Structure 1
Amino acid sequence: MSEQETIVWHQHTVTKASRAALKQQKPAVLWFTGLSGAGKSTIAGALEGKLAELGYHTYLLDGDNVRHGLCRDLGFSQQDRRENIRRIGELAALMVDAGLIVLTAFISPHRSERDLVRHMLPEGEFIEVFVNTDLAVCEARDPKGLYQRARRGEITQFTGIDSVYEAPLNPDIDLPAGEETLDQLVQRCLEALHQRGIVATS
């Protein structure tokens, strides 16, 4: 028998359902995906602020922040990027088990990676949010100067320049982030969450 075969999931007395009931909410993961500079962190942060105002228990996982701790040992190779998303998915699934509404902001350029996380969660608990911003808009914003560096060849395998971004084919929420205001985008998210029974008001 391998060591892996000796590992058994321990079922605790306090369940996911009871934790969610205590918080009076339906847990879920809102997975914000889009190009660098699309507005993922900005929209996710504004939405989390609104959810907090409404009394919901949330946590926001941001791409740069997890690289400081949980994924600090990973680089930016294809293999490391996939492992980065896998770890975040596992963490988000644990947070959902704790009864939280989890918001994540990651480029996560490949559909297979996003599907990997979707399959970690029960049906309906993974909500793919496509921050649908044109490359030209993202490059014009370039808040960290990364596009300029990529164009100069200082950064390679940069998503949208010399590395592919696979846009969601059928996202749960499609945000036209280059066309609407932040308040309008947050309202779109709230309405979608209301329709799914995750929040009581839109």
Structure 2
Amino acid sequence: MTETKSSNVVWHRATVTRERRELQNNHRSAILWFTGLSGAGKSTLAHATEERLHQMGCRTFVMDGDNVRHGLCGDLGFSLEDRDENIRRISEVAKLMMEAGVIVMTAFISPLRTHRESARGIAPHGDFIEFFCDSPIEVCEARDVKGLYKKARSGEIKEFTGISSPYEPPERPDLVVNTAELTLDDSVRRVIDLLTLRGVI
């Protein structure tokens, strides 16, 4: 984790608080963290969940892995150190969005447990909900429209998660979604059911 180098800074406490925003929105804010291999359906599930929540009148936003690397994390590669910084930046932005009253969804491989635990650690207890999109690598490869797995196996792509770089499945995720067997509608329903159970919506 990168140490802060800022000095002479004081956190400003606004009069419009997260609690007041949640009351106005009529739902709690939270960080929904979708993790899994490339091709496991993280982005698909996050965006489908957002669509359902939007239809329910919720304030939402999806932080997608590829989109973030076009700007906020465009200077980072895929070494474990850069992945660590990638997750750190994403976590901090997600926390700010949660403070703004938003149900923010992140769709990133986030391959290491330490990275995900660091992300969980910046949010108040219960506000970080981890969803493991569980799919065998064979299914992920079959879905791979970008041809990334093929390139990784041929050595064209270095440090590719699941092939030449490790992926550590969550040991205690808040919800396991078997994206290889469940339909997208069923997967979204399970996510929504958990959010309802947790009192987010």
- The alignment's TM-score, normalised by the length of structure 2, stands at 0.96
Q: Select between 67-76 and 99-108 the one with higher mean Cα deviation.
A: 67-76
- The whole-number CA distance in structure 2 between the counterparts of 1:12 and 1:82 is 30
1:146 is the counterpart of 2:148: yes
Letter in 1 for 2:169: A
Deviation of 1:140 after TM superposition, in Å, equals: 1.2
Where 2:164 maps in the other structure, the secondary structure is coil
- The whole-number CA distance in structure 2 between the counterparts of 1:141 and 1:94 is 33
Deviation of 1:5 after TM superposition, in Å, equals: 4.2
Letter in 2 for 1:137: V
Deviation of 1:184 after TM superposition, in Å, equals: 0.4
- Out of 42, 46, 71, the position equivalent to 2:48 is 46
- The whole-number CA distance in structure 2 between the counterparts of 1:84 and 1:63 is 9
- The whole-number CA distance in structure 2 between the counterparts of 1:141 and 1:99 is 35
Deviation of 1:79 after TM superposition, in Å, equals: 1.0
- Out of 112, 115, 118, the position equivalent to 1:116 is 118
Where 2:156 maps in the other structure, the secondary structure is coil
Deviation of 1:85 after TM superposition, in Å, equals: 0.5
Q: Which residue of 1 aligns with 2:75?
A: 73
Where 1:92 maps in the other structure, the secondary structure is helix
- The whole-number CA distance in structure 2 between the counterparts of 1:158 and 1:4 is 33
1:64 is the counterpart of 2:80: no
Q: Which residue of 1 aligns with 2:160?
A: 158
* 1:84-138 Cα deviation digits (max 9, x unpaired): 0000000000000000000110000000000111011000000000000111100
RMSD: 1.2
* 1:33-64 Cα deviation digits (max 9, x unpaired): 00000000001110100000011010000000
Q: Which residue of 2 aligns with 1:126?
A: 128
* 1:157-182 Cα deviation digits (max 9, x unpaired): 11000111000001001101001100
Deviation of 1:4 after TM superposition, in Å, equals: 3.6
- The whole-number CA distance in structure 2 between the counterparts of 1:120 and 1:62 is 19
Q: How many residues of Structure 1 are paired with residues of Structure 2 in the alignment?
A: 198
- The alignment's TM-score, normalised by the length of structure 1, stands at 0.96
- The whole-number CA distance in structure 2 between the counterparts of 1:142 and 1:19 is 40
Letter in 1 for 2:103: I
- The whole-number CA distance in structure 2 between the counterparts of 1:163 and 1:67 is 19
- The whole-number CA distance in structure 1 between the counterparts of 2:185 and 2:6 is 48
- The whole-number CA distance in structure 2 between the counterparts of 1:162 and 1:73 is 22
Where 1:6 maps in the other structure, the secondary structure is coil
Q: Select between 23-32 and 69-78 the one with higher mean Cα deviation.
A: 69-78
- Unmatched tracts of structure 2, length 5 or more: none
Runs of 4 or more off by more than 4 Å in structure 1?
A: none
Q: Which residue of 1 aligns with 2:183?
A: 181
- The whole-number CA distance in structure 2 between the counterparts of 1:4 and 1:102 is 26
Deviation of 1:78 after TM superposition, in Å, equals: 1.3
Percent of aligned positions that are identical: 54
Deviation of 1:74 after TM superposition, in Å, equals: 1.1
- Unmatched tracts of structure 1, length 5 or more: none
Q: Which residue of 1 aligns with 2:37?
A: 35
Q: Which residue of 2 aligns with 1:190?
A: 192
Deviation of 1:77 after TM superposition, in Å, equals: 1.5
1:83 is the counterpart of 2:85: yes
Q: Which residue of 1 aligns with 2:13?
A: 11
